[in-house]
Structure 1
């Protein structure tokens, strides 16, 4: 089912109006006007807030949440790629990067440094219609965040230089290479949009921009774009979390109030998109699975028909209960198929896609016929009462789950204000979605889908054009080239600040971190349960972990644990997989079995009110799997096709080859938990049944629970798990580990790859929470563990080689590794490897500086305030304690180590673990481009394929 762009409807019984107050709030400074107050209403899934406006047009939204000592700050500018001009694309996304590069009173790279040192996280995102910048920090850091955000809003241009512009232009080009050019199906969306939207339409070019446009852009272009769109009157500042309202408003007025408004911003016209005929386009790509992607233009976000179109998409192709799944995936002609109705501010698309199963020919013409048959079946089938009820329950669940974090609530408020002028849009959506009728769904089907022209795109493996649905009958016009006469810049008023903005505000007193209070219990059969109570949402997160997973299967049967878990998501002896999926959707619940390197697990998410029914379904899936031949053949075939498909992904190839180099290919840890095509091909249904008997025993199991229920309430509902039987299965010891010879560069050839994936590393330490592994992680932090680490600043910010570079220690109970890596431009692969080696060698020889030690201590210590906010985070914390038998207060010991560990001790660890001569060096890239570069480094280059 679609994850709604904004929180949507709950069942009709929860309807009610929010209380809106218009009177001036005494907490607001004189220059800040209160617009409205929306309070939470019992039984309604709305988000309480207060909305203010400054004289310069800045909208300010405050949401109080005192459950954790943190704040989330979001500044959303109502500008995305849709407000660019044809021929000058990519500017909004470029600014997402540029505005992290310092401003008049914030030094280069200081934005990341300040927030990371404060223990916070930060990022920015751009889409077609808005750009947002956000950070989550301990609550004592709020004033500092407002200083940072206001300085880049009002004082960005004085610090903008040609050098910064050129570096970020390279970074964006690297991002495009990594996310689009070097990824299977990466160019699908931009090619499709060119065919769906007319030339010059603001959605006809990609958000990241055309490379040619970025190359032609000038510094004057960039300045003009900023002056036009980044004023306070085109922005919304949203703050959520634990803060003092009066103090926060005073800070907002101080830092933002004197920034002058920018040019007037008017809403863009929403012109309906129409097609004259069905347009067929195709593309060859480095893929294994042929893909058909179809789309109809429909309405726009917030349109009266949007909700009915969403429901229509769900019925036709929204998961296991849909017609698409029944007609294509179940029958094995497609390994994946779905329908959705993504909406943007100016336009929506009704999209249908299917990934063909090459084992059944892979012809996309046959899939197009199947899609047409499914649409026709919907027309004759119509809409059922169950369809309507299911979507309302799903909306309720999605809305509540979306409120589990301050960030989720703040993002919702900010988006609703930006696009609708109403942070409380949730209330409107309650009525809008719940009022959809069967007649509405059929009406929108007839209006926008039935017999209407569409775009049909085929993506086929290179050299297999015979698989396309139909020959191309449409050629998209070439992107327009803008004339680059010098723009007349908008006069920007020079701000004379009323205070010294160059002085960074000091943080307040450090907040008290609220570590979850644990409870422990044992079921009658001895299964350990660790839990904590979380009152923020009426939800339950329950995870059953079983020791084993990939470690429990024979090496030659790698992928068996993965396949067995996949089969447990299928039919039981009582119901088939579609019936089970329908039952869960009607409850707003999910149950998912999975397996990884060292464990199998089942994750259950449920609204508290529906927990008994959800647990009943879990009992059925866990204890009564059907393990029928039809499900097995389909699941196995899907997995084999995805393994084949992943072999065209450079990052997957790098992970796979790197594991073999470190551990060898006869050791569990040298082979991925998903297995190989060779190993999975040999697996049988009897193998699955046998592994189920070994793995899914009570003796292997432990349980983690996070909910708004008490310990007694939770354990009293686990009766089915309490009757589970079976002794623990003994795990074989880890085999002797053989690593590849060091002193060489291993090259895996991926022809024509625009980027190379570099992995440099060695076997290192198994996980421990307070010993050498933990201290080694602290040591690595300034080398490659933070955004402003040495490695990332060198390769990304200084050299422009990559979108991001890092290093890290990773360990489980038995083994561990140290890895440094990045995806880099193919033409600088050799130079990038050289820089990695230089950084590692220098850090080994000289260690960290006093400033880096201080930065690490501050960043990691204060970051603890952010670690336990959501039920998912709490569950991870509990599982770590449970799995490694840690003390409940082990984080206090970690904090003691952070504060007391010496630079000499950490530098000794650098000297011990960062010897480049002990490391393997792997490059996955285009041999023709990179081999000679690598040979110039003085290492022998050994080919792996």
Structure 2
């Protein structure tokens, strides 16, 4: 199901809650109210005991919709500008324009210099991004509250003053960046082209969803910069946009600023709501594709309705019943009995159409073909007809909706995103009320009705993705061939064809607004106890939402294993998600979902981590189930066999991924024959050695409270949390201390280790060495500050060179990494295959130049501003607070370490940073790992006078 949409419906499920809406104010009352000279068109107020997102809605004369949400709980603001244009509003033969403009909007405007947009927001202490889908494009930033005016200046400049800054050179560079993004996310990723192929078969030619959001590269190759400008002029007017601002704002002042910066931008052409475009199929369409994958995949996609159709809600619940986790039919019929290593069902919805999607990856050990899996899936749907809809099916979904909605209120960005999305697609930011009603009112009969109307006896696109050379294993011979695209005769636009709108301001836009002083940011107040069984507890209260987030860190991670049995802690973490001695895994999943709780158990180098998220009213029941998982795992032989087999299959699948190959080879070379040289989930050889008896023995030895840590952030006071922790009172014992030996490895420095990936569209590069272990206020931290200008920010030297200047990659970076036991320095990127040698040369040049010449005064100031002004974002959500507290407990810190770090940032000198660069960035001390097509790359790398060693994992 779609988490963002589930969240809309839960408010009605809160005990005794009604959601306020504009119905609480008469139209006359709203019309009589105004702020800063603007009438309030719509308003929702917060009321005690009621769950809603308060807001006020306005409209400027040029059609720009303005939504304000006041929330002074943290000294920050979130700004979202959403344009009602996505790939669905592109023309045939001109795909990818909406996504392309997401890139171009960050490339500077008339009063913002090239590459300055990211820099300005980063040094303001903020974060930013933009996203594109089929139906909308949005741009957003979260910054300290004193930076609001600067954000409005930036957003308005690219809305009204962009086109003169869109040059042919920028167009060509970003076209290469988009190609690299496609290469990384689509062409070089296993199953990466699946959605593209399915959409082309599902929707008729010319349907807005028949091409991928990222577009076809041949379309971008044939157009010019004026075609792109024409697209902007058609869709990026203020009358097709909504700006939503939330956080610690003064509403009147904010509205005045919005009017100042956006009010004089002229309207664009009229924009109407798009017509819904569902499709029906007259027969099943079987299609297939060879791919560089280990496991074949079966995918079935049924066309259904459109977003917010009355049948969307029951379709979502149907998807949950069929394939939504361990209580679903596909899990029972495919995964639990080990016919498949993975199977799932979802019902993604977009503005114009929705689909019910099913997929499964067969387990090779079971001997089931894709045709067998298709039959089991179809039989499972028939079984659903007999089984029907159970009471628990509705209870689980509605409980999860409640929890999802409440957890979505934890950040101002989450609230702003909901308001913006509802406004863009419905014209009503408070569409929550209608969503609540349509989900809360779903009945068993509704679910059965939509199954019969949209799925039973209906047709689907059924795709087989098989390893190369194995087309004989597809589920069914192809019955459908996607027609060649019919591209109309396209005439490239010229400058004379553009109907340019000229915006005029009554102030000097060339001067960037200055920010006042940062509002003070309070470190969360903490309390600390040690339980009678030795569990170290650190907590903080956060009263914004009635939720509790908890992290239990048990010292039993990867470094506690022998290298011969690497992956032991990963298997144990997986077994915690299986049955207990009291109930089956399915029953456990059902009970947690009925509480709206989420428990996720994983491992890393040092810990097994138990993550718990619960509504506070259900905390005690949730912790009782967590305790049951930890204290009474069933360690069932059949479940272990399935878990172990799935892990082994994942290894083979991962070897088709360039990033996995690069990271695995890099660790092996740096750490040699030690536990750190093996992935934390092990490898085929080590996991094959592990028995269920080994897992049990590891559990008995390591899963102890004394030595473990529990971090909690809750709206409940300490006394209530202490009472709830009684759930773990019977947990006894002390965890053994870590005994770790990581001997130095004699590296063949300056060597390129080349890992082959046949016909790879991109190459994965890792350059680096072992180094400092993590500290909080020492040299490791200072080295990270040193690296910020080199590779630690979007505007770093490495990224600007390889991405923005050369167009070799979608992103390049460098960092110091580590924990208490290991550490190092790594520069990395996924680059165009044909630019691998050039990319390595640029990496070497940037690192060597920085090592020799150091940081500039401008870069030093940029680093100081970016890091010290970002405090407002560090503690906003319970999750952020949880991470902050975990760091304190992990390193036995006083809360004043924050002040110490700020003093380091403010006081570190250019000389000290340059000395750190000279010490830690000696390129000849580093090794390189490259994953790509060896037969093509090896001669090029050898031509660079590099020593190249063929390497395999």
Q: Once the 2 structures are TM-superposed, how far is the Cα of residue 288 of structure 1 from its aligned partner?
A: 1.0
- Aligned residue number for residue 397 of structure 1: 403
1:744 aligns with 2:751: yes
Decide which of 693, 696, 704 is 1:689's aligned counterpart.
696
Unpaired segments of 5 or more residues in structure 2? none
- Aligned residue number for residue 837 of structure 1: 844
Distance 1:855 1:9 in 2: 43
Q: Once the 2 structures are TM-superposed, how far is the Cα of residue 118 of structure 1 from its aligned partner?
A: 0.4
1:515 aligns with 2:523: yes
1:7 aligns with 2:4: no
Distance 1:790 1:205 in 2: 35
Q: Once the 2 structures are TM-superposed, how far is the Cα of residue 235 of structure 1 from its aligned partner?
A: 0.2
Q: Is 1:743–1:917's contact at 8 Å kept on the other side of the alignment?
A: yes
1:137 aligns with 2:137: no
Distance 1:789 1:402 in 2: 33
1:426 aligns with 2:432: yes
Distance 1:896 1:25 in 2: 51
Decide which of 645, 667, 670 is 2:674's aligned counterpart.
667
- Aligned residue number for residue 553 of structure 2: 545
- Aligned residue number for residue 223 of structure 1: 229
SS at the partner of 2:588?
Answer: helix
Q: Once the 2 structures are TM-superposed, how far is the Cα of residue 496 of structure 1 from its aligned partner?
A: 2.3
- Aligned residue number for residue 309 of structure 2: 303
- Aligned residue number for residue 322 of structure 1: 328
Summarize deviations over 1:512-558 as a string: whole Å, max 9, x none: 11211111011112211000000111111111101230011111100
SS at the partner of 2:893?
Answer: coil
1:190 aligns with 2:196: yes
- Aligned residue number for residue 926 of structure 1: 933
Q: Is 2:17–2:51's contact at 8 Å kept on the other side of the alignment?
A: no
Distance 2:5 2:287 in 1: 29
1:456–1:633 distance in 2 versus 1, CA, 3 Å: same
Decide which of 794, 807, 816 is 2:814's aligned counterpart.
807
- Aligned residue number for residue 57 of structure 1: 63
- Aligned residue number for residue 341 of structure 2: 335
Q: Once the 2 structures are TM-superposed, how far is the Cα of residue 483 of structure 1 from its aligned partner?
A: 2.2
Q: Once the 2 structures are TM-superposed, how far is the Cα of residue 42 of structure 1 from its aligned partner?
A: 4.1
Summarize deviations over 1:822-841 as a string: whole Å, max 9, x none: 00001010010000000000
SS at the partner of 1:699?
Answer: coil
Summarize deviations over 1:64-106 as a string: whole Å, max 9, x none: 1111111110000000000001111000000000010011111
- Aligned residue number for residue 788 of structure 1: 795
Q: Once the 2 structures are TM-superposed, how far is the Cα of residue 2 of structure 1 from its aligned partner?
A: 4.0
1:2–1:54 distance in 2 versus 1, CA, 3 Å: closer
Moved more, 784-793 or 741-750: 741-750
Moved more, 20-29 or 182-191: 20-29
- Aligned residue number for residue 913 of structure 1: 920
Q: Once the 2 structures are TM-superposed, how far is the Cα of residue 6 of structure 1 from its aligned partner?
A: 5.7
Decide which of 167, 170, 175 is 1:169's aligned counterpart.
175
When the two structures are superposed, what TM-score results if normalisation uses the length of structure 2? Answer: 0.98
Decide which of 503, 506, 512 is 1:498's aligned counterpart.
506
When the two structures are superposed, what TM-score results if normalisation uses the length of structure 1? Answer: 0.98
Q: Once the 2 structures are TM-superposed, how far is the Cα of residue 493 of structure 1 from its aligned partner?
A: 2.8
Decide which of 610, 614, 638 is 2:646's aligned counterpart.
638
Q: Once the 2 structures are TM-superposed, how far is the Cα of residue 699 of structure 1 from its aligned partner?
A: 2.0
Q: Once the 2 structures are TM-superposed, how far is the Cα of residue 731 of structure 1 from its aligned partner?
A: 1.4
SS at the partner of 2:243?
Answer: strand
Q: Once the 2 structures are TM-superposed, how far is the Cα of residue 931 of structure 1 from its aligned partner?
A: 1.2
Decide which of 594, 597, 611 is 2:602's aligned counterpart.
594
Unpaired segments of 5 or more residues in structure 1? none
- Aligned residue number for residue 486 of structure 2: 480
1:351 aligns with 2:353: no
Q: Once the 2 structures are TM-superposed, how far is the Cα of residue 58 of structure 1 from its aligned partner?
A: 0.4
SS at the partner of 2:5?
Answer: coil
Distance 2:838 2:913 in 1: 28
1:845–1:187 distance in 2 versus 1, CA, 3 Å: same
Moved more, 223-232 or 402-411: 402-411
Summarize deviations over 1:910-943 as a string: whole Å, max 9, x none: 0000000110111111112211221122111111
Q: Is 2:533–2:705's contact at 8 Å kept on the other side of the alignment?
A: yes
Distance 1:616 1:525 in 2: 17
Decide which of 735, 740, 758 is 1:733's aligned counterpart.
740
- Aligned residue number for residue 18 of structure 1: 20
Q: Once the 2 structures are TM-superposed, how far is the Cα of residue 44 of structure 1 from its aligned partner?
A: 3.9
1:362–1:941 distance in 2 versus 1, CA, 3 Å: farther
Q: Once the 2 structures are TM-superposed, how far is the Cα of residue 642 of structure 1 from its aligned partner?
A: 0.8
Distance 1:735 1:912 in 2: 22
CA RMSD of aligned residues (A): 1.2
Summarize deviations over 1:445-501 as a string: whole Å, max 9, x none: 111000001110011111112221101010101233242214473522322211110
SS at the partner of 1:747?
Answer: strand
Q: Is 2:284–2:462's contact at 8 Å kept on the other side of the alignment?
A: yes
Q: Is 2:19–2:52's contact at 8 Å kept on the other side of the alignment?
A: no
- Aligned residue number for residue 470 of structure 1: 476
SS at the partner of 1:581?
Answer: helix
Decide which of 819, 824, 845 is 2:831's aligned counterpart.
824
Distance 2:94 2:730 in 1: 65
SS at the partner of 1:336?
Answer: strand
For residues 556-567 of structure 1, what are the structure 2 equivalents within 5 Å?
A: 556-567=564-575
Q: How many residues align?
A: 943
Summarize deviations over 1:857-889 as a string: whole Å, max 9, x none: 000000121111111111110011101111111
Summarize deviations over 1:711-736 as a string: whole Å, max 9, x none: 11101111132332112212113231
Summarize deviations over 1:217-242 as a string: whole Å, max 9, x none: 11121011000000000000000111
Moved more, 584-593 or 385-394: 385-394
SS at the partner of 2:173?
Answer: helix
- Aligned residue number for residue 120 of structure 2: 114
Distance 1:50 1:735 in 2: 59
Moved more, 288-297 or 13-22: 13-22
Q: Is 1:228–1:490's contact at 8 Å kept on the other side of the alignment?
A: no
Decide which of 655, 678, 686 is 2:663's aligned counterpart.
655
SS at the partner of 2:777?
Answer: coil
Decide which of 753, 763, 788 is 2:760's aligned counterpart.
753
